[in-house]
Amino acid sequence: MITYLTSFTAALVGVSESSKSRFVESVKPIVQRPYFDDVGPRNVTAVVGQSALLNCRVKHPGDRRVSWMRKRDLHILTSDIHTYTGDARFSVRHPEHSDDWDLRIAYVQKRDAGVYECQVNTEPKINLAITLNVEDASSLAATHPDPRSKDAQATISGPPEVYVKKGSTISLTCSVNVHSTPPSSVLWYHGASVVDFDSPRGGISLETEKTEAGTTSKLLVTKALLSDSGNYTCMPSNASPASAVVHVLNGEHPAAMQTSRAGVRRQMALLATFSLLVVTSVR
């Protein structure tokens, strides 16, 4: 190494400073910037309840971060292999030592349709936009009905009425014991609205698991608010839905609340009986 440096220095003796600068610049290593190897489709179509895979291949990423962003709300879904959404349907498929950073969306829903961007945090930032189109599966179900799914019934573990304290976690587990044809999707409703895992409220997540015993969908709502009270419905694509009523208590005791409700029901029954007697006597 010393001999090489001495020879290199000697070779520059008598050379002008401008020539030296040009020579040194020419021997600098070329750093390759990240770029997209655009081999995947820019438009992807998926069927409701199935999985969608959005391809993103980044060449020479170096130490740069590769992220996926949902364009409609500018929500960062993933960064490198980490997921930054409470919706467990989103994940990154990145085989080790590969250039692929594919976004996988399980149990695709109509609301997932839109533009997604694969981004690399270069300066300036580079991005690759991919449009996801979602088709309804109702037409497929009409042409390929499953006769066994008509009698299938979802069940929610535990009592039909659930009492939790404000600030604690609501946990509802729905089971669908259809072994031959697992549900293509499991939706959760709060009242008449589909549960939004990316709402400003935050703290809502879903865990879905398919096993030989059937399909299990677990809804978690952390830091329960009074507004989280109400009817929750688990609705599989190939089975009858199941519901549970959640009561978020603000310091009340569940037993006392249940006793109070029972007392109200007894009073209403007595009132109805009394009214019937009055009407009968008048006649």
- pLDDT at position 107 is 81
* 8 A C-beta contact, residue 237 and residue 186: yes
pLDDT value at residue 38: 74
Residue 119, C-beta contacts closer than 8 angstroms, at least 6 positions apart: 66, 67, 68, 69, 125, 126, 127, 128
What pLDDT, on a 0 to 100 scale, did the predictor assign at position 164? 94
CATH superfamily name and code, 35-136: Immunoglobulins (2.60.40.10)
**Residue stretches of the chain with pLDDT short of 50:** 1-8, 10, 139-141, 143-144, 146-149, 256-262, 264, 272-280, 282
Same topology, domains 35-136 and 151-251? Answer is yes
The pLDDT of residue 196 is 83
- Res 22: pLDDT: 61
What is 151-251's CATH number, 1.10.8.50, 2.70.170.10, 3.30.1540.20, 2.60.40.10? Answer: 2.60.40.10
Q: Please tell me the predicted confidence (pLDDT) of residue 39.
A: 67
Q: In the chain, where are the structural domains located?
A: 35-136, 151-251
Can you give the pLDDT at residue 128?
92
